[in-house]
């Protein structure tokens, strides 16, 4: 294998650093990486995390247990320092533009959620919940973890028959259908994904649910309870306050709002360049400070529950489902997509395993409300 001088210098530097966190280049352990194209090193130098992810997609290197590799990298604290030029320009772009404006809001649906219901139906469980499960001691399967999560949300919102409930970012309709069927509530679910709407409407004819293709900023209706499960990551820091204002305007005085969202440990205004380009365009993980500041004067906190470690197990289940069912999907999704998708699932699992990312359920109510605080663990 020919290797130019710059790559040789970089190989020595990277090898020296990786050795300090127990990773070897061309080693034999599951978390070691095997390099097939030495241009990997320059790609990392010039393009940071974007270059690293793209190199994996191209097959320039491999790793038997990419989740363990990322676990070591993340625990070292180096990952956030190697964003490179794309990270810099991403930060500048987020400062200059509202990347989650109404005109751009549907982009994440078109490039992620609308890539095929066949993929998601094989990767997820029967509930079609695409968010963190809740792995209690009585839970042993992915589906059970999602049902446990939904029942946890219902208890926190104190859902009762006859209530009118809003689901912001309803996905494929699993939560809305579960609450309508098991708690006797009427649910209106909104999403910006055409594929999700089509799927959600299937088999819902006898249920007290309604699904609408719309942006949350177009809401103008009152509800007894509101929840948003795995949608806030697409709102964007410039729109956080407006989001809470819209929710407040739609919530009856004695109602509650539950926000289920991935959270970051520090306030940022952008996301990882590789994630931005290939997985969640315009996505952004809020920090606790950003949530608190944006909701101040609009809502009061009833409860803040971190179930982040549960996401590691959820993601590894999705990974197993995807890999085990890929033969059924390979005509629609090529090998580069396969590598992209597994890279995302495994790196995400490592992020939650190391607590670089969190998963919060934040329960809000309105100041002066007589509603008892519902907290469950």
In tens, the pLDDT along 288-311 reads 999 999 999 999 999 999 999 999
48 has pLDDT over 90 = no
Higher-confidence position of 57 and 101: 57
* pTM exceeds 0.85 for this model: yes
CA–CA separation, 311 vs 288, rounded Å?
18
**Burial code of 334-371, b = ≥16 C-beta within 10 A, e = fewer?**
eeebbbbbbbbbbbbbbbbbbebbbbbbbbbbbeebee
Tokens of 143: 């589906």
Lowest mean pLDDT among 17-21, 111-115, 207-211, 343-347: 111-115
- Residue 154, pLDDT above cutoff 90: yes
Residue 96 in this model has a pLDDT that exceeds 70: no
Looking at residue 346, its pLDDT comes to 97
283-287 long-range contacts, CB within 8 A, separation 24+: 283/108, 283/233, 283/234, 284/94, 284/99, 284/100, 284/233, 284/234, 284/235, 284/236, 284/237, 285/233, 285/357, 286/232, 286/233, 286/235, 286/237, 286/240, 286/261, 287/263
Total length of the chain: 377
pLDDT band at 55 (very low <50, low <70, confident <90, very high): very high
d(CA 289, CA 286): 8
More confident call, 246 vs 9: 246
Domains parsed from the chain with CATH numbers = 5-95 (no CATH), 102-365 (3.40.50.150)
Residues of the chain with pLDDT > 90, as a percent, come to: 73
Interhelix angle 39-57/335-353, nearest 10 degrees: 100
Q: Which of these ranges, 88-92, 166-170, 200-204, has the smallest mean pLDDT?
A: 88-92
Inter-residue contact 244 to 298 (CB < 8 Å): yes
Q: Residue 95, class by beta-carbon neighbours within 10 Å (0-12 exposed, 13-18 middle, 19+ buried)?
A: exposed
The answer on pLDDT for 243 being more than 80 is yes
Compute the average pLDDT of residues 159-185.
97
Q: Regarding beta strands 61-63 and 33-35, do their DSSP bridges make them parallel or antiparallel, or are they unpaired?
A: antiparallel
Residue-averaged pLDDT of the chain: 90
* CA pair distance 164, 152, nearest whole angstrom: 18
- Residues 198-236: pLDDT tens digits? 999 988 888 999 999 999 999 999 999 999 999 999 999
């Amino acid at each position: 294998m020919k290797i130019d001088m710059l790559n040789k210098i970089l190989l020595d530097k990277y090898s020296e650093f990786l050795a300090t966190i127990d990773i070897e280049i061309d080693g034999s352990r599951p978390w070691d990486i095997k390099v097939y194209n030495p241009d990997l090193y320059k790609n990392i130098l010039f393009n940071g995390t974007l270059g690293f992810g793209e190199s994996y997609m191209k097959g320039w290197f491999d790793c038997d247990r990419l989740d363990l590799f990322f676990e070591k990298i993340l625990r070292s604290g180096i990952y956030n320092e190697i964003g490179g030029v794309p990270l810099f320009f991403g930060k500048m772009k987020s400062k200059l533009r509202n990347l989650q404006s109404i005109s751009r809001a549907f982009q994440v649906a078109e490039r992620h959620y609308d890539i095929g219901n066949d993929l998601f139906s094989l990767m997820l469980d029967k509930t079609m919940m695409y968010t963190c499960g809740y792995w209690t001691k009585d839970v042993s399967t992915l589906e059970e973890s999602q049902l446990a999560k939904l029942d946890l949300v219902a208890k926190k919102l104190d859902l009762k028959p006859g209530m009118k409930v809003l689901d912001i970012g309803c996905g494929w309709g699993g939560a809305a259908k579960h609450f309508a069927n098991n708690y006797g509530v009427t649910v209106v679910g909104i999403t910006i994904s055409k594929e999700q709407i089509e799927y959600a409407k299937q088999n819902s004819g006898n249920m007290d649910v309604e699904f609408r293709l719309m942006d949350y900023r177009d809401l103008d209706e009152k509800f007894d309870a509101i929840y948003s499960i795995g949608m806030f990551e697409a709102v964007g820091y410039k729109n956080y306050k407006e989001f809470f204002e819209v929710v407040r305007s739609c919530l009856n005085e004695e109602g509650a709002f539950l926000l289920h969202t991935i959270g970051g440990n520090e306030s940022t205004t952008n996301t990882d360049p590789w994630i931005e380009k290939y997985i969640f365009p315009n996505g952004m993980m809020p920090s606790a400070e950003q949530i608190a500041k944006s909701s101040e004067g609009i809502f009061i906190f009833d409860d803040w529950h971190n179930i982040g470690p549960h996401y590691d197990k959820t993601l590894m289940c999705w990974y197993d489902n995807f890999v085990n069912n890929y033969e059924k999907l390979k005509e629609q999704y090529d090998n580069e997509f396969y590598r992209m998708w597994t890279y995302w699932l495994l790196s995400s699992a490592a992020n939650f395993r190391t607590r670089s990312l969190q998963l919060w359920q934040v329960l809000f109510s309105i100041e002066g409300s007589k509603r008892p605080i519902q907290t469950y663990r």
